[in-house]
Structure 1
Amino acid sequence: MSQPDAIIIGTGVIGAAIAFELAKKGWKTLSLDRNSQVGHGSTAGSCAIIRMHYSTFDGTAFAWEGYHYWRDWSEYLGLPDDTQLAQFRETGCLVMKTEANGLLDKHKEYSAQLDCPFEDWSPQQIKSRLPIYALDSYAPARRMDDPEFGHPNGNQMNGAVFWPKAGYVTDPALSAQNLMDAGKQHGAQVRTASEVSEILTQDGRVSGVLLTSGEEIKAGVVINVAGPGSSIINGMAGVLDDMTIETRPLRQEVVHVPAPEGFDFENQGTIVSDSDISLYCRPEHGNHILIGSEDPECDLHQWCEDDQNYNRDFTDQWTTQAMRYAQRVPSLGIPSKTRGVVDLYDASTDWIPIYDKSSLPGFYMACGTSGNQYKNAPIAGKMMANLIEYCEGGADHDSQPMQFELPYIKRTIDVSFYSRKRPINEDSSFSVLG
């Protein structure tokens, strides 16, 4: 494709969704990725959790809308029947009530407004579903070198809220490949092992990209969906000056440990978000448990200068997360061999993504998405495709923000919620919870 209509930088799950949605609208798209396979950037390291609880109404609406595409994954993609598809396992998500999350009153209010089902659970119901759990409270979360680590604070957990429709996708890289294959059916093209070194401009607007190979590819629209590399691409485009929200790569460790002997966590467990110990977990193949940090103050943020040069080895953070989870699950065995994932988030200032145009005409951004936007990829792709057509059609999204109807739940949202120029959203959790 010598001159596509749009170049999409990044073939992660959101980049692939944008390619699919634009291709369905008749755009000639070319997706570029420096990795050798689609979906093999930060998407491959994603926990791929599909949940509905968010600290903002807009975030809740977007996530509830997003669930429906995973539920109807095969129908949404329209791929041949024999295609290997990523699987969505609807396990539900249990969120512990804590003072830190306001006992989830706001989350329940938003879900009720959106007709998103949830259930209040007593401590007895938690123990019935997860008999391996102990319900002592340990807040605030601590590191192992804290002398108070592992000592209960004298209180008990007083219940939880269960969102039954939540779950996770078994193979996040495959889900991005599914989306790209669906896009190819509509003419989308992709080139891997192709790294962008410069954003080209002409007459005050974007005109294409220069690759590290020296090749120039011309296009009137360029979309930055480069994940943890997004800030570098935005810098190349010279669009940082009018942005109140910035994005940066943030190093994360995710722990994989075997479930306690005698309990089938893979089939009987559920996703759990537990801000009392500041961890989330979900079932993993082979009766393992995957454990991630919810970014408490004691877990220092490991910001990286770029998205390629960072420590890929496990540190004491792995042990800290495993041992914090063992407070909740006393029968948990801590293996001598560390297993899991070390990867990067593309984190924004307030942990809410940027889905927006930029100060450079024709240059668009879907950035700051890592950690809490995997679940929203299909609807983010659809919204971005509409936003690009809205702006390319002559509308000024900055002064007249696009209003977008979420097709499944029939709610209209103001897309300036995701603006690069928005005030920092103080309703955010300022963590992976979004």
Structure 2
Amino acid sequence: MIRSDKRALVVGAGVIGSAIALELSRAGWAVTVIDKFASAGAGSTSASSAIVRYHYNHLPETALAWEAGKRWMDWGGYLGSADPRGLANFIRSGALVLDGALMDREVCLENLRALEIPVEELTPERLRELFPALDISELGPPARVEDDAFWRDPAGELGAYWVPDAGHVDDPQLAALNLAHAAAANGAVFRFKATMRELVVRDGRVGGVVLEDGTTLEADVVINAAGPWSQQVNRIAGALSDFAVSTRPLEQEVISLPLPEGFELGASGTCINDADFGTYFRPHGHTLIVGGMEPECDPLVFLDSPEDARASVRADTWEVQSLRIARRIHGAKVPSRPSGIVGVYDVTEDWIPIYDRTAIPGFYVAIGTSGHGFKQAPIVGEIVARLVDACENGHDHDRDPLTLKGSYSGAEIDLGHFSRLRTAVPQFGMS
């Protein structure tokens, strides 16, 4: 058992870092969280589309998403404490995945069924009946507006599958604040506007961190959950010597359009992955938020630092994404003035997160979440608590990867899938 006098320091108070703080404090650790912003969830979490989906190409990620989804569905019960600001709400709007080259339909379906996650395959006829606002023509593969292929005549009609228990969280930053509040109720301490300057290493293992203002915070373990800043934190720590998978900040643009008539929640409105035309979108109040699925024709904008991200969406992103929606949803309107937000992902080559120890004893990472991190956050807290418990008590996770048994699915989740030592296979444009 971990002794209650053990001290943990978490770098990052986004949804991931706050979830880790909650689970470590529940496990008896004295937890301190530092974050460069003024409150929990004020960084990349605040720009999340907050979609909670379960269709993935790999079973461990499907299992993590499903386990986390069950916690989102019972958010108050999972937190175990009231928050005077109120609680973020999980909106069970479902997820519709249109057939297309950007998703491996059969593999995703196999994983969903292996975990007994409800899913229904839809014929074009059934798709038209359930979602009349959609044009189900086969419009892909994705192309840019200036390419004649964008305007090609439809080649046929699409099928799809429907996952009714998916959905989205209505306020991603509030969700992080809820986690931080619950962690504080268990004794965690949050220090905002605080950044790490140096990792303290004594006798070959972590001893704490030095902040930019010169303050030293003693700690027995340090967890890097800094999101798009994770690469910078790893470099400061000198922890990258044996990483086979790297992380990089990737600029992400999400545009906003007026909600088309008939696409309201309760009507055709749902979370949609358009694997045919390269977008994902969902209702958000009176608007429709639209992001990209990274098809090959859409340029990837990697950054040296998250601070280099643009302040507003690019005109060409606005044009191509809005016109894709105009072709996909009947009656969609495209305003003359672009609207949207720019966020930053922390991505790996294979778009699979890294939840692992490092070569520095006592230094752990929960990074490279590649846009998946928000939905996985509640279970990631449990993963890190399991890793820290086992490794600090002598387990060699590199030689004998741990598993985590899902409390809802019963699945034995192979945590080696998220190892820093894995062989990465680039999968841009996939699920």
Structure-to-structure mapping, 1:48-127, within 5 angstroms: 48-80=50-82, 84-102=86-104, 104-127=105-128
The aligned residue for residue 246 of structure 1 is 246
Inter-partner Cα distance in structure 2 for 1:152 and 1:361: 58
Q: Which amino acid aligns with 1:28?
A: A
Runs of 5+ consecutive residues of structure 2 not aligned to the other structure: none
Change (3 A) 1:416 1:87: same
Does the alignment pair 1:150 with 2:137? Answer: no
Q: Say whether the 8 Å CA contact 1:256–1:289 is kept in structure 2.
A: yes
SS in 1 for 2:157: coil
What is aligned with 1:27? 29
Letter matched to residue 62 of structure 2: T
For 1:181 and 1:5, the matched residues in 2 are separated by 19
Contact kept? 1:247, 1:348, Cα under 8 Å: yes
Is 2:177 the counterpart of 1:177?
yes
**How far off is 1:372 after superposition?**
1.5
Contact 2:201–2:207 at 8 Å: present in 1 too?
yes
CA contact (8 A) 1:117 1:163 kept: yes
Letter in 2 for 1:17: A
Aligned-pair distance for 1:147? 2.5
Any idea what SS the aligned residue of 2:151 has? coil
Q: Is the 8 A contact 1:255 1:321 kept in 2?
A: yes
Partner amino acid for 1:340?
A: G
CA distance in 1, matches of 2:193, 2:83: 29
Distance 1:369 1:358 in 2: 17
Closer/same/farther in 2, CA of residues 202 and 152 from structure 1, 3 Å limit: farther
TM-score, scaled to structure 1 = 0.95
Q: Does 1:303 align with 2:302?
A: yes
Output the CA distance in 1 between the equivalents of 2:242 and 2:84.
Answer: 47
Q: Percent identity?
A: 38
> How far, CA to CA, are the matches of 1:124 and 1:153 in structure 2?
16
Partner of 1:356, secondary structure, is strand
**8 Å Cα contact 1:4/1:30 also seen in 2:** no
Using a 3 Å threshold, how does the CA distance of structure 1 residues 305 and 69 change in structure 2: closer, same or farther?
Answer: same
* CA RMSD, 1 decimal: 1.6
CA shift, 1:362, in A, is 0.5
Q: CA deviation at 1:412?
A: 1.1
Q: Secondary structure at the match of 2:177?
A: helix
Aligned to 2:428: 430
Structure 1 CA distance for aligned equivalents of residues 10 and 324 of structure 2: 40
Matched residues in 2 for 1:424 and 1:65: separation? 24
Match of 2:194 in 1: 194
**Is this contact kept in 2: 1:5–1:28, CA < 8 A?**
yes
Q: How is 1:15-414 mapped onto 2 (pairs within 5 angstroms)? A: 15-80=17-82, 84-102=86-104, 104-157=105-158, 159-260=159-260, 262-268=261-267, 269-286=269-286, 288-315=287-314, 316-414=316-414
Whole-angstrom distance in 1 between the partners of 2:336 and 2:207: 53
CA distance in 2, matches of 1:108, 1:165: 14
Contact preservation (8 Å) 1:7, 1:32: yes
Q: How many residues align?
A: 425
Q: Quote the Cα distance in structure 2 between the aligned partners of 1:201 and 1:143.
A: 50
> What secondary structure sits across from 1:265 in the alignment?
coil
Structure 1's unaligned 5+ residue stretches are none
- Structure 1 residues 82 and 338: CA distance shift in structure 2, 3 A: same
> Could you tell me whether the CA contact under 8 Å between 2:312 and 2:341 is conserved in 1?
no
Instruction: Please list the CA deviations of residues 239-278 of structure 1 after superposition, one character each: whole Å capped at 9, or x if unmatched.
Output: 2121111000000100110122x42524421111011100
**Distance in 1 of aligned mates of 2:388 and 2:424:** 24
| Counterpart-to-counterpart distance in 1, 2:125 and 2:13 | 44
- Corresponding residue SS for 1:337: coil
